[in-house]
Amino acid sequence: MKVKKAVIPAAGFGTRMLPAAKAVPKEMICIAGRPAIHYIVKEAVDSGIEDILIITSRGKTAIEDYFDYSPELESRLEMSGKTDLLNEVHEIAEMANITFIRQKELKGLGHAVMHAKSFTGDEPFAVLLGDDIMRSDVPVTKQLIENAEKYECSCVGVKCVDSSDISKYSSLAVEPITDKLFDVKKLIEKPTPDKVLSNYAILGRYVLTGDIYSFLENAEPGFGGEIQLTDALNALCNKERMLALEFEGERFDSGNICGYMEASIQLALANPEVSEWLKNYMKGLTL
Ligand code: UTP
């Protein structure tokens, strides 16, 4: 089994980032100098992915523009001798083979992933949610791919979250293989307190086999009336092996204002161009 393709669902409304997300896709909101989705595409590329499908929707053409060439801008930068910027802008369009598809009706994450079937065919593929940004030594998607390829099955990225937060995520029933790797037995999306399976939750990264599509195609609307990827994963893990990896690294949900601010500060601190300035600035704040 070899994972060479990735799917980035980025079609959602982004209601938690309104009013900014009314006119700017939340995936394009700037975090430490780059749009959020830049970090996600980079993680996929750094994980050995060659082909990427980004699922967008109305009002999100800025994502396509960002990963395209920009001839007028590039010739202006060339004329003014701004070679470093020119190279950086040009290289963004060459990061990966990126194609786009539109989800015309926003019926949920599972419905979005269904749009990838013609792109992936029966091959296994990675899914990186468009607003979950990771900071890790080894890219999180690479960590999942290594386990999916080794055990030849799906592998989802999990962390143990606080009991007060589990109702915002999917909750998993798991059996340990090692202290970080688990067999997945059952999943439930956004459980009420009496339905929580454990505090392990999937945080925005998956490697899935092509078998997921048969369950997505037959899925009934679940939590919130949406086609939930979690429901299809629950059916898939009844049919074939599925792993959960407690990945190494930190995850920021840039789709809400606090997660966005955490990501902005942490990624700026990791960026040598601005980290010293930011540290000095924060030291000087009277709180
Ligand atoms: P979220 O629920 O985090 O994103 O979905 P959202 O719907 O954009 O945000 P809120 O809740 O309204 O603030 C998780 C991921 O699934 C994608 C989103 O773009 C995000 O990356 N998604 C969600 C789709 O692509 N299509 C959908 O119909 C729903």
Atom of ligand 1 nearest to the CA of 8: 21
The pLDDT value recorded for residue 286 is: 82
Distance 53 CA to ligand 1 centre (A): 16
Mutation pick for ligand 1 pocket among 22, 28, 131, 233 (CB with most ligand atoms within 8 Å): 131
For the chain, give the percent of residues with pLDDT over 70.
Answer: 100
Output the pLDDT for position 246: 98
Angstrom CA distances, 213 to 58, 195, 205, 235, stand at 24, 26, 17, 11
- How far apart, in whole angstroms, are the C-alpha atoms of residue 263 and residue 255? 10
Domains and CATH numbers, the chain: 5-283 (3.90.550.10)
Q: Is the pLDDT of residue 203 over 90?
A: yes
For ligand 1, the distance from its centroid to the CA atom of residue 93, given in whole angstroms, is: 25
Pocket of ligand 1 (CB under 6 A): 9-16, 55, 103, 106-109, 111-112, 129-131, 255
- C-alpha distance across the termini of the chain, in Å: 53
Rounded CA-CA distance 8/62 in Å is 15
Task: Using the atom order of ligand 1, give the atom closest to the CA of residue 13.
Answer: 8
Rounded alpha-carbon distances, angstroms, from residue 97 to 43, 45, 137, 215? 14, 10, 24, 28
The answer to whether residues 243 and 144 touch, using CB atoms and an 8 Å cutoff, is: no
Of 7, 109, 258, the one to substitute when testing ligand 1's pocket (max ligand atoms within 8 A of C-beta) is: 109
| Interval 130-181: pLDDT, tens | 899 999 999 999 999 999 999 999 999 999 999 999 999 999 999 999 999 9
Task: Please report the atom of ligand 1 found closest to the CA of residue 26.
Answer: 8
Which protein residue's CA is at the shortest distance from atom 15 of ligand 1? 129
* Dist. CA 12–CA 79, nearest whole Å: 39
Global pTM? Answer: 0.95
pLDDT given at position 104? 96
Atom nearest to 106 CA in ligand 1: 28
Q: Quick: pLDDT tens for 41-57.
A: 999 999 999 999 999 99
User: Which protein residue's CA is at the shortest distance from atom 8 of ligand 1?
Assistant: 12
